[in-house]
Amino acid sequence: MSVFDLLKTKVKNGKKTKIVFPEGYDQRILTAVANLNNDGLIEPVVLGKPAKIQAIASKSNLNLSNVTVIDFEHYSKIEQMAKQFIVARRKDISLENAKDKLKTANYFGTMLVQMGQADGMVSGAAHSTAATVLPALQLIHTAKGMHRVSGSFIMERGKEKYVFADCAINIDPDAATLTEIAYQSAQTAKMIDIDPKIAFLSFSTKGSAKGDMVDKVAQATKLFQEQYPKIPADGELQFDAAFVPSVSKSKAPNSKIAGQANVFIFPELQSGNIAYKMVQRLANFTAVGPILQGLAAPINDLSRGATSQDVYDMAILTAAQSIVRDD
């Protein structure tokens, strides 16, 4: 079963989730929303002027009946939302400043999630990553016990499924950050029914090389094993020692993952980003993501080159994150 077939099954069998789409004037978004609504998997909430959205939908013969559309620029409960915005922002700002922020679709959509009126949000088809992630960090904040967010990819080819992180957010994470990235990635792995076995990757295996970069990964491994002893993890490991049992037996004979890693934690962003793209292009894996991890509620970012199918898939993934989090 493919990743998205699995996630669709989880969403279909779980509670009905509301997912916000702030980019209501984008045809790709509306096409995905119409398909999601037709399939009955989630309850889409679209932001924008209803007449303008309907005009765009009509040109493409999209059926948006029963889809909730909110004109965020003329919202009747803006006063109440602005007051809650100030509380969520955890910063001394004026009511007028809060109202101004809420005139931005991404901030408004994020507040719907923050207030529990929606379960998640998908944006980024027409906005930068920062325009999606910043409101989430300011208003949703990190999940309990977490101090950072990260970005993972699920790498899929046939029955093979792996999680790579961080490939999108943290440029040069320290040991404590790598530990959190690993825990967050383990939760993503569990969401797609992978029993996580985590490898903290390096150019060194068990002290075969020396230096600050090696020490950081070794320290992250130690922290993770202390904090999450029930999740198999090892490091620092070169990729072959993490993935090939015969190499693991030679290079890391006492490894807790014995060359069977399925969650790979990269020492910094450039190696993670390069690795997922290489595996995608050279080995014909499908790269699902980036998946934002570590937030108190699911918010996900689209590529500006996303297709309507990409939007559909990311909405399903976001709904699944919400269901798994509640479970």
Per-residue pLDDT, 289 = 85
Question: In total, how many domains does the chain have?
Answer: 2
Nearest to 292 by CA among 137, 155, 125, 174: 137
207 plus 318 within the same structural domain = no
Helix, strand, coil percent content, the chain, rounded in steps of 5: 50, 15, 35
Strand, helix or coil for residue 17: coil
pLDDT digits (tens, 9 = 90+) for 43-98: 999 999 999 999 999 998 999 988 999 999 999 999 999 999 999 998 888 999 99
Mean of the per-residue pLDDT values for the chain?
93
127 plus 170 within the same structural domain = no
CATH number at residue 322: 3.40.50.10950
238 plus 260 within the same structural domain = yes
Question: Is 46 within 8 Å of 53 (Cβ atoms)?
Answer: yes
Per-residue pLDDT band at 316 (split at 50, 70, 90): very high
Per-residue pLDDT band at 238 (split at 50, 70, 90): very high
pLDDT digits (tens, 9 = 90+) for 102-140: 999 999 999 999 999 999 999 988 888 888 889 999 999
Domain that holds residue 264: 150-286
| Spatial CB neighbours of 229, under 8 Å, sequence gap ≥ 6 | none
137 plus 154 within the same structural domain = no
CATH number at residue 207: 3.40.50.10750
Peptide bond before residue 44 is cis, with ω within 30 degrees of 0:
no
Greatest C-alpha distance within the chain:
67
232 plus 267 within the same structural domain = yes
164 plus 263 within the same structural domain = yes
Average pLDDT estimate for 228-257: 94
Per-residue pLDDT band at 167 (split at 50, 70, 90): very high
36 plus 134 within the same structural domain = yes
Average pLDDT estimate for 9-21: 92
Task: Transcribe 65-114 into DSSP letters.
Answer: TT-EEE-GGG-TTHHHHHHHHHHHHTS---HHHHHHHTTSHHHHHHHHHH
Q: What's the gap between Cα 313 and its chain centre?
A: 12
